[in-house]
Structure 1
């Protein structure tokens, strides 16, 4: 039985632009009931924007509390360490028949240190159990261990991620390849689809989270994967157009 219950396993954004705030807002706009397992808290300190992982036992209690809820889909965002990623993976395996969207986030993703490398290996373990992965260009580079400088590079990286077990892949290119266009690449193992929109100048904080949670909501509605991605791209474009100083603003659909 399909319900309107959707789970977000994601982190807090202290400024409420991205993370769990974007996920729950997207579910609400789509008239779905969002449940939540929080993976981290954040704060702006003298060191900059800091991420504080949820206590392992507390995270375990959260997942145990939710194990019997009849979700119709799950979206995973920031998993800040190996312990929490392993717990989330066990939960995903127990719900692997559902549509599951993995938006892989690598903490300190500009630094190729041991923790990032270990977390990369852990995230790859999710690939066979999720419906689609939605990395941005930086995460796609880290996960595929390839440099991406062109659309052809994006295609090769998508093929590599598919070969690692991902059934469907969307690489969020942003405007890195073309300053005038926001380019995303979708790959289902056979066909590439390129989705483009003009680059907007408004704040886009939370756009990646909103994109992944919008795909999740669309899958709950029964859309096929390509259409779910296409509509999510349009949804995010309108959200960015209505953004404020702290992030994307969800709009009401007609």
Structure 2
């Protein structure tokens, strides 16, 4: 019965303080407060198994924020003389020993950690040293593919991200058009897979699809008041601040709207084209 994993177990017997569940070889306690009201002997229940504060394997119907093998963003609840304790959604917090911290962790901050099983104690622990667990590339990924990303670390180039919980990528600073924080979970897009296996990630769709998706957004903003205080001569910084996109994409969108006869473009303004 693996610690830190979900199991479907059968209800074997009832006691005053809960139910004992079995996989046919081992029994484990499901405390009464986790027992669903309509549970009967012989029923199958999906539970999460971990080690409680007294060192006993225990089953709960509550689901943690992360299981063994997962990489997740968790918040530090407190720091003690042995390490940091992170909120993992269970009664017992996840400990990250000092030796598993890339930098000393602080109470109230979020960090990206990988959940591991400490084979000496049979308990779940966390580590912020997740680089060795990530692959730089993966043949299954394709350029343009939508992926799930987790903002991991800031570097001089941009933000390292975890792709699909197991690959490493990078979002460059000059391609970020809104606020990001360590631990943010987002959708991203594979922009490029380099010859050395490194993966560039974009937070926006690329090429025609990006322009197509944003054209309606820009048009709706213009329609709200009849004009938009941005135009051909507006700075990239102003466009990024107001619309969260690059000037290159903004000009592509304006070009499409102009060709379709929907807008008039000026140096610092775009207006709906008057009918007739």
Same topology, TM > 0.5: no
Which structure shows the higher strand fraction?
2
Q: TM class by shorter-chain length?
A: under 0.3
TM-score scaled by structure 2? 0.23
> Whose radius of gyration is greater, 1 or 2?
2
Higher relative contact order (CA 8 A, sep 6+): 1
